[in-house]
């Protein structure tokens, strides 16, 4: 349902931009008043910016929806996109100095 609404919104916005561009070309070719041409050109720019913002907002909504499913926490082990977390332990050598050692956890 949401996908068809998204498609409908994009089709309506692109159609409105196409009609406005057609009107702009007709006004330019008919030697209309410069102010009218400038206003229609401004309308085209506003429509394009509104379309870009709409698509960006929709993409962000999709990212926010899918983000929680990236990390699955189980009571036994935490999986993070196929990568295993690395644990750090410290061990001492014969001189008493501390060394950090990386251990791959199962």
- What is the reported pTM? 0.59
pLDDT tens-digit map of 59-89 = 998 888 888 765 555 555 555 555 555 555 5
Element housing 23 (H / E): helix 2-29
pLDDT (0 to 100) of residue 9: 93
CB 51 within 8 A of CB 13: yes
Per-chain mean pLDDT for the chain = 77
pLDDT of residue 32: 77
Cα(80)–Cα(67) distance, integer angstroms: 12
Domain boundaries, the chain: 1-106
Beta pairing partners, 99: 91
């Amino acid at each position: 349902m949401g996908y068809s609404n998204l498609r409908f919104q994009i089709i309506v916005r692109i159609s409105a931009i196409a009609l406005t561009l057609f009107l702009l070309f007709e006004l330019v070719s008919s030697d209309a008043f410069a102010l009218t041409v400038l206003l229609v050109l401004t309308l085209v720019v506003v429509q394009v910016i509104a379309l870009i913002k709409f698509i960006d907002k929709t993409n962000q909504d999709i990212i926010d929806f899918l983000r929680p499913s990236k990390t699955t926490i189980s009571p036994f082990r935490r999986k993070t996109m196929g990568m295993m977390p690395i644990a750090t332990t410290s061990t001492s050598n014969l001189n008493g100095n501390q060394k950090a050692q990386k251990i791959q956890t199962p």
